[in-house]
């Protein structure tokens, strides 16, 4: 019982969630600003290097790589590791993929990769040259893996700013990052410019690093806004694909998309679907067909147009509505000194410059130590050659290796039998170091050959020159920077490539409204809530049967809109130009697809937008609440809005332009009163009681009529005069018709 710790539940949950959040941020979702890699990416690359699956070795099964990474360094799901590995292989995401894949790793169109048991992979050459080349030179610290059985690097000794080169995307807890890829040559130039001038401004730095460079090409349309985005580390970048015109034959023109924005990667089918929707809803009637002919040679989406099509308008529609021009949300968040931080461009470059100095300092300290060790051994071997006869005599006179070693290091001759007089005195003068002694004892007799001795002296000379060079670099920051820049220039010469994404300042695309000649149509709605338009000639020919076959027939101009009121209290909006103009016998389209109302709702009232402003509408619900509302309350560009306070089901909506209201209950009770007794209220008001309903009864119908007007009640034709005129909120009377 003494081991039980009393804690507050809320405090424990708060602390546990905080620990989880920090773990997700630092160990999974966000890249490190130094090497630009997320932990899982770093572990995959390191594991592959340990397995020897480099660019000069054969491919290995992806399942082997994933399993080894999971077992040794990353104890999470195999699917997440494989997904990360596949991501690093995709050439449409990176100009320089870090994984060289063999097999089906998916496609730019959104196809997924084959299972890991089918695909093979190895590290790309760029990884061997720029990411892990100096990993064995003491450049980065190592840490224990998750089970403390192996060591893994905290970061990789990347030679270029990986965060900018490969970019990164990740969603963590309350934080996300979205960093685009950049051009290697530009990034290297920018890094060298910063090293020459540490107080450089963002604008000056962007003379070199001009902006994102996406593997999909395309165009950045707001170049002048990039400086502000990079200064803050977040912003909006307008990106657009590339589209040109081609002759389609017979006087027609085709539009061909050859580059897409990065936001369209994996969703080309969605792009084509949006274009098909534009054709279907008559937004782009000049488009006759769309074909995806993309393949190994790149993107090629052909959009065929009618002869005489308005090409500029179609282009604008494709850019704007089909999202061939889209917004890329720049959000440069990375792990800096163990914590997540918003990273402006200058911070990324300055932190990487600092990291490079650390890497080079560690590297040359390591190399210096190795060269000093070599120098020590080489000088010892050369000195040993001069007294080789004595050494051989010592070895022949020793019973154990340790006796010979002590003699060579400290001149101890107690346990050694010498063949010649005077040798013991010479042996006592020996003073080789331990490393030299071990090298002498391990030395092959072939090293005694003259040429070998010359080679040994040359090696010693080389080591001493290297020691001088490394000491000079470590003691002079300017020399170290010069060496870093020299290496960067060599990398640029081998790996840099031309920019793929063009930069420009382009006006945002605006879709001009197409001029439509006004024409009268009739909107027909059948009992299944299908709606269509017919022209006036068709209406005249079928006038006799229209009112039997359809529940509503509304004259409307093709530039107008319809307002639809339903029993659920919703008002839906239908644009006439989105409705199909069909023949009389054709079906039309479901009402819910064009205005968003539930198809199970009962349709109560339909009115053109042009007419509603001058109307007052009467509403009645099944709990006998009634009110009048000005039609202007329902004018709104929204597709669907609440048209009635939801305290009951609507049973009637009508024009409030007649004198009498007649309410009919489900049990056959009826009350007639003047419409003037119904107040005009807001659409959100509850209304007033129309009549007193007995318990369990509900209102079934509400009629707004004139006294001598015939209407249908209980399947019979009656007039309002058939019922006694009473007062609102009175008791209804039972009627039999």
Chain CA centroid to CA 278, Å: 25
The residues, any chain, with a CB within 8 Å of residue 5's CB and separated by 6 or more, are none
The pLDDT assigned to 25 comes to: 56
- Strand 502-503, strand 219-220: pairing: parallel
d(CA 369, CA 511): 68
CB 328 within 8 A of CB 169: no
Based on the domain organization, do 587 and 725 belong to the same domain? yes
- For CA atoms 629, 631, 637, 640, the dihedral sign is positive
Least confident of 23-27, 128-132, 478-482, 542-546: 23-27
Question: pLDDT, tens digit, for every residue of 425-451?
Answer: 888 888 888 898 888 888 776 666 655
Structural domain span for residue 578: 520-734
CB 166 within 8 A of CB 91: no
Residue 647 corresponds to which tokens in the numbers above? 């305290």
- 274, 305, 323 — which closes off a domain? 323
247: CATH: 3.30.1360.40
Question: pLDDT, tens digit, for every residue of 166-209?
Answer: 999 887 666 789 999 999 999 999 999 999 999 999 999 999 99
> What's the distance, Cα to Cα, between the start and end of the chain in Å?
84
Place of tokens 């809530």: 529
> Nearest-CA neighbor of 355 among 142, 130, 161, 151?
161
Based on the domain organization, do 462 and 527 belong to the same domain? no
Based on the domain organization, do 478 and 526 belong to the same domain? no
Three-state secondary-structure class, residue 20: helix
Based on the domain organization, do 423 and 527 belong to the same domain? no
The pLDDT assigned to 18 comes to: 65
Q: How confident is the model at residue 646 (pLDDT cuts 50, 70, 90)?
A: low
24 pLDDT higher than 60? no
| Mean pLDDT for the stretch of residues 632-658 | 86
Question: pLDDT, tens digit, for every residue of 25-43?
Answer: 556 678 999 999 999 999 9
Question: pLDDT, tens digit, for every residue of 712-726?
Answer: 898 888 999 889 999
Q: What are phi and psi of 398, to 5 degrees?
A: -95, 140
**Domain total in the chain:** 4
The pLDDT assigned to 399 comes to: 85
Kindly report the average pLDDT of the chain as a whole number: 89
CB 580 within 8 A of CB 497: no
Partnered with residue 566 across adjacent β-strands are: 603
Residue 31 corresponds to which tokens in the numbers above? 């890249």
| Mean pLDDT for the stretch of residues 242-248 | 93
Based on the domain organization, do 645 and 699 belong to the same domain? yes
d(CA 634, CA 134): 71
Q: What are phi and psi of 250, to 5 degrees?
A: 55, 35
Whole-Å CA distances, 186 to 95, 163, 236, 398, 551: 13, 14, 21, 66, 68
d(CA 28, CA 22): 10
364 pLDDT higher than 90? yes
Helix H, strand E, coil C: the string for 273-321 is HHHHHHHHCCCCCCEEEEEECCECCECCEEEEECCCCCHHHHHHHHHHC
Based on the domain organization, do 357 and 470 belong to the same domain? yes
pLDDT higher for 736 or 193?
193
Question: pLDDT, tens digit, for every residue of 655-688?
Answer: 999 999 999 999 999 999 999 999 999 988 889 9
- 157, 187, 211 — which closes off a domain? 157
In a domain, 509, yes or no: no
Least confident of 199-208, 608-617, 697-706: 608-617
In a domain, 294, yes or no: yes
Residue 606 corresponds to which tokens in the numbers above? 């339909």
> Which residue spans within 15-82 are E strands per DSSP?
60-61
Based on the domain organization, do 569 and 636 belong to the same domain? yes
The pLDDT assigned to 471 comes to: 92
The pLDDT assigned to 638 comes to: 86
Based on the domain organization, do 483 and 530 belong to the same domain? no
451: CATH: 1.10.268.10
In a domain, 9, yes or no: no
The residues, any chain, with a CB within 8 Å of residue 633's CB and separated by 6 or more, are 682, 683
Based on the domain organization, do 482 and 549 belong to the same domain? no
In a domain, 485, yes or no: yes
Based on the domain organization, do 479 and 529 belong to the same domain? no
Question: pLDDT, tens digit, for every residue of 298-327?
Answer: 899 999 999 989 899 999 999 999 999 999
Tally the residues of the chain.
737
| Mean pLDDT for the stretch of residues 13-18 | 69
How many angstroms separate the most distant Cα atoms in the chain?
152
In a domain, 534, yes or no: yes
Place of tokens 């999971």: 70
Whole-Å CA distances, 432 to 132, 371, 625: 37, 18, 111
Residue 128 corresponds to which tokens in the numbers above? 């061997």
Chain CA centroid to CA 228, Å: 22
The pLDDT assigned to 228 comes to: 95
The residues, any chain, with a CB within 8 Å of residue 245's CB and separated by 6 or more, are 253, 254, 255, 256, 311
| In the chain, % of residues over pLDDT 70 | 96
| Mean pLDDT for the stretch of residues 626-649 | 86
> Nearest-CA neighbor of 541 among 504, 580, 585?
585
Q: What is the CB neighbour count within 10 angstroms for residue 190?
A: 26
669-674 β-sheet, strand order = 699-705, 660-665, 669-674, 733-734
The residues, any chain, with a CB within 8 Å of residue 22's CB and separated by 6 or more, are none
Catalytic machinery residues: 118
In a domain, 216, yes or no: no
- 89, 124, 157 — which closes off a domain? 157
Burial class (CB in 10 A: 0-12, 13-18, 19+), 441: middle
| Mean pLDDT for the stretch of residues 555-573 | 89
Based on the domain organization, do 566 and 675 belong to the same domain? yes
In a domain, 543, yes or no: yes
58: CATH: 3.90.199.10
In a domain, 597, yes or no: yes
pLDDT higher for 242 or 429?
242
The pLDDT assigned to 729 comes to: 94
Whole-Å CA distances, 209 to 341, 493, 654: 21, 17, 66
Residues 627-655, buried b or exposed e (16+ Cβ, 10 A)?
bbbbbebbeeeeebbebbbeebbbbbbbe
Based on the domain organization, do 450 and 534 belong to the same domain? no
The pLDDT assigned to 285 comes to: 83
Question: pLDDT, tens digit, for every residue of 330-340?
Answer: 999 999 998 88
């Amino acid at each position: 019982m003494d081991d039980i710790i009393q804690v507050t539940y809320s405090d424990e949950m708060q602390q546990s969630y905080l620990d989880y959040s920090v773990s997700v941020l630092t160990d999974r979702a966000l890249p490190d600003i130094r090497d630009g890699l997320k932990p899982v990416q770093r572990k995959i690359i390191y594991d592959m290097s340990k397995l020897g699956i480099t660019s000069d070795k054969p491919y290995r099964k992806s399942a082997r790589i994933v399993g080894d990474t999971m077992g040794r360094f990353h104890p999470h799901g195999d699917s997440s590791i494989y997904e990360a590995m596949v991501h690093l292989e995709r050439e449409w995401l990176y100009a320089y993929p870090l994984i060289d894949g063999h097999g089906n790793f998916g496609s730019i169109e959104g196809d997924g990769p084959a299972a890991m048991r089918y695909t093979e992979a190895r590290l790309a050459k760029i990884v061997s040259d720029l990411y892990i080349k100096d990993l064995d030179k003491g450049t980065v610290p190592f840490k224990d893996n998750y089970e403390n059985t192996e060591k893994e690097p905290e970061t990789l000794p990347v030679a270029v700013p990986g965060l900018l080169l490969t970019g990164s995307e990740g969603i963590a807890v309350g934080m996300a990052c979205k960093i685009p890829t950049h051009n290697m040559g530009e990034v290297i130039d920018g890094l060298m410019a910063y090293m020459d001038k540490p107080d450089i401004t963002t604008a000056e730095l962007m003379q070199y690093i001009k902006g994102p460079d996406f593997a999909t090409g395309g165009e950045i349309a707001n170049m002048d806004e990039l400086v502000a985005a990079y200064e803050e580390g977040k912003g909006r970048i307008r990106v657009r694909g590339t589209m040109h015109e081609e002759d389609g034959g017979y006087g027609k023109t085709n539009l061909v998309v050859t580059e897409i924005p990065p936001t369209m990667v994996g969703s080309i089918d969605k792009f084509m679907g949006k274009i098909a929707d534009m054709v279907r809803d008559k937004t782009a009637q000049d488009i006759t067909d769309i074909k995806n002919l993309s393949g190994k040679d790149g993107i090629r989406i052909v959009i065929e147009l009618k002869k005489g099509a308005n090409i500029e308008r179609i282009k604008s529609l494709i850019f704007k509505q089909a999202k061939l021009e889209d917004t890329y949300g720049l959000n440069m968040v990375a792990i800096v000194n163990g914590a997540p931080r918003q990273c402006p461009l200058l911070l990324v470059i300055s932190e990487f410059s600092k990291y490079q100095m650390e890497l080079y300092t560690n590297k040359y300290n390591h190399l210096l130590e190795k060269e000093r060790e070599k120098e020590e051994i080489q000088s010892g071997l050369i000195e040993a050659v001069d007294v080789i006869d004595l050494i051989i005599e010592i070895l022949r006179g020793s019973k154990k290796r340790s006796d010979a070693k002590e003699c060579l290091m400290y001149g101890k001759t107690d346990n050694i039998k010498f063949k010649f007089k005077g040798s013991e005195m010479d042996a006592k003068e020996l003073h080789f170091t331990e490393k030299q002694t071990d090298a002498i004892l391990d030395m092959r007799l072939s090293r005694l050959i003259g040429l070998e001795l010359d080679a040994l002296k040359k090696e010693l000379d080389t080591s001493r020159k290297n020691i001088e060079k490394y000491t000079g670099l470590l003691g002079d920051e300017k020399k170290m920077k010069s060496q870093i820049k020299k290496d960067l220039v060599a990398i640029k010469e081998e790996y840099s490539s031309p920019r793929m994404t063009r930069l420009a300042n382009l006006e945002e695309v605006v879709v001009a409204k197409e001029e439509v000649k006004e024409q009268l149509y009739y909107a027909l709605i059948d009992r299944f809530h299908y709606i269509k338009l017919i022209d006036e000639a068709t209406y005249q020919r079928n006038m006799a049967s229209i009112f039997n076959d359809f529940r509503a027939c509304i004259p409307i101009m093709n530039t107008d809109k319809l307002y639809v009121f339903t029993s659920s209290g919703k008002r839906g909006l239908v644009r006439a130009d989105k409705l199909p103009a069909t023949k009389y016998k054709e079906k039309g389209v479901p009402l819910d697809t064009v205005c968003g109302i539930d198809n199970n709702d009962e349709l109560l009232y339909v009115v053109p937008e042009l007419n509603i402003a001058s109307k007052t509408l009467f509403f009645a619900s099944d709990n006998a609440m009634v009110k009048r509302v000005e039609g202007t309350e329902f004018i709104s560009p929204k597709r669907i809005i609440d048209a009635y306070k939801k305290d009951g089901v609507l049973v009637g909506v009508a024009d409030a332009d007649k004198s009498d209201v007649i309410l009919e209950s489900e049990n056959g009770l009826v009350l007639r009163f003047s419409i003037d007794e119904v107040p005009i209220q807001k659409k959100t008001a509850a209304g007033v009681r129309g009549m007193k309903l007995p318990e369990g009864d509900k209102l079934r119908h509400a009629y707004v009529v004139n006294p001598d007007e015939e209407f249908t009640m209980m399947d019979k034709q009656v007039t309002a005069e058939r019922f006694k005129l009473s007062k609102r909120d009175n008791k209804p009377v039972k009627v039999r018709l």
